[in-house]
Structure 1
């Protein structure tokens, strides 16, 4: 760290700065500050002013400052912010307000106050929400295409050109600084740090007497920890970015933070991974910037934000929390232990606690109003309400699709490889198939295939080369199934094992009846098979478990045909979702293969 730069900057800002103030800024003793000031005078960076209580910045000092002028800032704002659901279902974390001011806007304003106007925001999740900042603050936006798959190592990789040969702040959009800690000039690369008493799981610094960071460890006791903004000097970026670029190419680093690279450089691990950078850890210079207590805030979750800004205890302006508050007749402050559940393919959901019980709130995902008829779903839940088949629904809105249900403590999803659990799941399926429960709507494969096909064609071409041939095969299966004329019963249509809850008391619940309707009951066996990625042998065993006997040829044909049709339908569904920006990896191909494979198996069966 070039302390002379800081002294020159302090004098530029206030010629009457005292040596005590200099010592506080540099975090050195008064005697050391006095010695440093004398050194600056001797090398003609500064001179005593006409009055003994002031200093004058000399041309050499001005030239030194020009070398260390801050060129701009990069603000990371690409992530989802899962610990702030349901707020972040609607609003990126950095756009949440603290004391009536959005966190990212507070940082932009502080940068402007320090003369820094070249600001780029790296966006990803809900990127459109940040567009207004271009007009309001003249910022630039940089899209990170890997924001949903990789961590901040990839974020810095995509923004790396902004740092090369420049002095740049690196900020997180969701930080809140009580005081403006930015400057027009910086003396060297640093990482903001706060002191944590007692045990901490934060990333902790070891550093020498001059403040140079020597090591980073995860967890420690009574330590200065990584907390808040970072400053990349030109020289730091020259040393660090080539290593980061190399790490980006290494398999297994997808979930690395950029700080993981720094940690491995300092520990010597980089020399093992990348021998060409064996000296990188010894050369890298990054200094600790120890900040006073209560200056930098990194809110870990909504509970922390509530404690800091009491507005969030009473009114979050979030539709889901307002709904929960209304349904349970409690203030929002009594909705606690909020956390994001694994996002489904169609919906978003979060867990919360009121008094001594946990519940789940489901929020329909974007575009689902085209795919799901919520009134029909509600009709199914209403029809099943007197039976111990579904989850216990507390609230369901057939217009919006919002659903609140009890959370079953200690429950787990069914294991497709557990014969005992699959037998229990199939027993439940048999139960509602034979219950005589009816609803007024059906699930029509032909209609759904046509519907998804039209949606896909609105966005672009369907990518399968042999699509027209396979579609003709599906029509052949549909015609055959219609001729068989099987009786329709209430069917779930989404019997993925994740929708079966195995309760601690030995009972089973089947949740998420979004696609349910009157259909051939064997369709639920087919859907369970393809969702579990079963092969033919496993599928035949599943049929026998459900029927409790050896299936007839016609029953096998029916299950295979619906496996083919289900695979075809859900592959179209996945293509449509991909057009909307949601990717499900190899799911599309797996489902399409089921369509082709089980059509052939139907053709191999004896005539029925």
Structure 2
């Protein structure tokens, strides 16, 4: 195996036969004396003759030849909302070039033709690269449920002398080479404080420590190179630890850092500006000021049309916390701050957007949701005002819950109506039928519970309770309180004409109210102690709400989404209050 000095000399002569020792020293950073000594050693070993590599010299370089490249392109790129709702970040056009295409072309320019792109989110958008560049496409179907270690796991058998890249990097100079001495992580220098992954090195620039955050430090940025030794051991570690629960959320770099003593990797520094990663839309616009004006984005076209602004005015774009059914981002213009909401995948099966639109207009008229500006009732996207420094009510604070209940009563007594209806029992049956299309429901005890829900529905129908406009997703996370203590009831996706108790049932389930809190909230709704009949009827709707959202959660999970603890919360309230309500009805 060559030492680094001999590799440097041989690689320089491979590129340009007859290169002077002085030029090699200048380009490599080695001293002229070191280059002279290395040159003599390679000549003596028969690797160089008359300033040109011999066949033995080419053979000596062979173990350092780059074999392939892996470009990771599976991620959601959520920090680039809302553009990432339409296309993956790696397909954005920056300074007139598609990011991943520019990177592929730089790899090809360096003679690296075996290129694999690992895809996941909107994977079909990348398929054309196969025809255009001859790259390999590998699907990572775990891109939502785990971090980027899943992408390298999919191609672990391809790892050798391999470049590992991200699809969204922009290199102003081509960093790729056909021959590389050993494994390295590219780095850039941060003057002052930084929150990046800072590198400490030892002898011969070997990375000995990596920490998040530091000052006046080199930090990880850009592409990485694995040599065969590194790849072999890393693949073993990846296979060994992949199924450990703690591995799921780790970056592949976390695994490297966990085993940094046995994984030999050096740091390769680059001047500022060569490697560019964009963590936000504003960062990208600083690099390419005309990006937003030139971007092909229906979302930004919608925003400019509705608000009457230009794309150049839009700034401070960043994602907000995503709900189970929607994707939302913040943005600002010269006139204020706003929220753009994008419908989640598959929500067309769960949400009637025309009904939502009608309810939103009514809510605005009633002063219950002054944030609403515009919604497209066919496609489901929406623009609202952003409530600055908003907070949400505490459902376990009796005073705040009483205020929520008064808002609920105001909605129900408004006389407002929409054309559509929303019924928890019917919705649960619809979700059940959608589940059955995917296969039998063989959850233990499911059909016994479903039969009891059928019994409960007969009692509820016999109550002949009034129907009115209901929110049907009425709980504290759908309230905003502004700095003037004004309450806004938002997110009207499930609104419709319903039994008045729907909203109370949802509130109790989704706010996870305890039995004494349930009774206090019900009394607050009526402004007096509830009667036994009213209490029984509303308990029944806690059961129906829990059951309906339980079925909804099962369907979301069956579609590949992760609902988490809510699956059990819905189940628990559904079954507990099913028992209570049936017992009360039977007493009467």
Fold in common (TM above 0.5): yes
Which segments of 5 or more consecutive residues in structure 2 lack a partner in the other structure?
none
The answer for the alignment partner of 2:6 in structure 1 is 4
The 1:180–1:558 alpha-carbon spacing in structure 2 relative to 1, beyond 3 Å, is same
Change (3 A) 1:3 1:123: farther
Q: Secondary structure at the match of 2:536?
A: helix
2:249 pairs with 255, 266, 285, which one?
Answer: 255
Structure 1 residue corresponding to 2:108, chosen from 109, 112, 115: 112
Gaps of 5+ in 1: 50-54, 267-280
Q: Deviations over 1:335-370 (max 9, x none)?
A: 111111111111111111112621101111223233
Contact kept, 8 Å, 1:3 with 1:26, in 2: the verdict is no
Match of 2:37 among 35, 38, 41: 35
Is the counterpart of residue 186 in structure 1 residue 180 in structure 2? yes
Cα displacement (A) at 1:24:
4.4
- Find the counterpart in structure 2 of residue 143 from structure 1: 139
Residue 503 (structure 1) aligns with: 482
Counterpart check, 1:14 vs 2:16: yes
Matched residues in 2 for 1:205 and 1:6: separation?
A: 24
Distance 1:218 1:466 in 2: 48
Matched with 1:479 is 458
Residues 456-467 of structure 1 mapped to structure 2, 5 A cutoff: 456-467=435-446
Contact 1:77 1:122 in 2 (8 A): yes
Q: How does 1:203-602 map to 2 (within 5 A)?
A: 203-208=197-202, 210-245=204-239, 248=242, 251-266=245-260, 281=261, 283-355=262-334, 357-602=336-581
Task: Report SS of the residue matched to 2:473.
Answer: coil
- Find the residue that maps to 2:587 and give its secondary structure: coil
Deviates more, 1:455-464 or 1:522-531: 455-464
Aligned CA distance change for structure 1 residues 591 and 144 (closer, same or farther; 3 Å): same
SS at match of 2:210: strand
Asked whether the 8 Å contact 1:207–1:215 carries over to 2, the reply is yes
Q: 1:586 to 1:140 in 2, by over 3 A?
A: farther
Contact 1:442 1:518 in 2 (8 A): yes
Once residues 239 and 508 of structure 2 are traced to their aligned partners in structure 1, the CA distance between those partners, rounded to angstroms, is: 43
Give, in angstroms, the shift of residue 536 of structure 1.
3.4
SS of residue in 2 equivalent to 1:563: helix
Kept in 2, the 8 Å contact 1:3–1:187? The answer is: no
Q: CA deviation at 1:462?
A: 2.9
Cα deviation 1:287-323 (Å, max 9, x = unaligned):
1212233221111211122222233231321111111
Change over 3 Å in CA distance of 1:383–1:3 after alignment to 2: same
Indicate how the Cα distance of structure 1 residues 261 and 453 shifts in structure 2: closer, same or farther if over 3 A, else same.
closer
Q: 2:88 aligns with which of 92, 98, 103?
A: 92
Q: Note if 1:160 corresponds to 2:162.
A: no
Give the CA deviation at 1:229.
0.7
Deviates more, 1:10-19 or 1:174-183: 10-19
1:73/1:170 contact within 8 Å kept: yes
Q: 3-state SS of the aligned residue for 1:16?
A: coil
Q: Distance in 2 between matches of 1:556 and 1:30?
A: 91
Query: Could you list the per-position Cα deviations for residues 526-552 of structure 1 after superposition, in whole angstroms to 9, with x for gaps in the alignment?
Result: 101111233434323332332333322
Cα drift, residue 251 of structure 1: 4.7
Is the 1:462–1:575 Cα contact (8 Å) retained in structure 2? no
Aligned twin of 1:69: 65
8 Å CA contact 1:153–1:258 kept in 2: the answer is yes
The separation in 2 between residues aligned to 1:387 and 1:553, in whole angstroms, is 31
Kept in 1: contact 2:304–2:311 (CA 8 A): yes
CA distance in 2 between counterparts of 1:143 and 1:415 reads 43
- Given that residues 204 and 220 in structure 1 are in contact (C-alpha distance below 8 angstroms), is that contact kept between their aligned partners in structure 2? yes
Structure 1 residues 288 and 134 mapped into 2: Cα distance closer, same or farther (>3 Å)? same
Q: Distance in 1 between matches of 2:98 and 2:447?
A: 51
Find the residue that maps to 2:205 and give its secondary structure. Answer: coil
Q: Structure 1's 239 and 3: CA in aligned 2 closer, same or farther, altered over 3 A?
A: farther
Q: CA deviation at 1:459?
A: 2.8
CA distance in 2, matches of 1:288, 1:312: 32
Structure 1 position 131 matched with structure 2 position 131: no
SS at structure 1 position matched to 2:170: strand
SS at match of 1:562: helix
Taking a change above 3 Å as real, the CA distance of residues 38 and 395 of structure 1, as seen in their structure-2 partners, is same
3-state SS, counterpart of residue 210 of structure 1: helix
Q: Do the aligned residues in 1 keep the contact of 2:546 with 2:574 (CA within 8 Å)? A: yes
Does the residue aligned with 1:121 lie in a helix, a strand or coil?
strand
Q: After alignment, is 370-379 or 213-222 more displaced?
A: 213-222
| Contact 1:192 1:230 survives alignment (8 Å) | yes
Match of 1:45 in 2: 47
CA distance in 1, matches of 2:5, 2:558: 54
Aligned pair in 2 of structure 1 residues 97, 16: CA closer, same or farther (>3 Å)?
Answer: farther
- 1:501-531 CA deviation, whole Å, 9 max, x = no partner? 1222222111011111122222111101111
CA-to-aligned-CA distance 1:542-592 (integer Å, 9 cap, x gap): 323323333222222212221222222222222332333222124334323
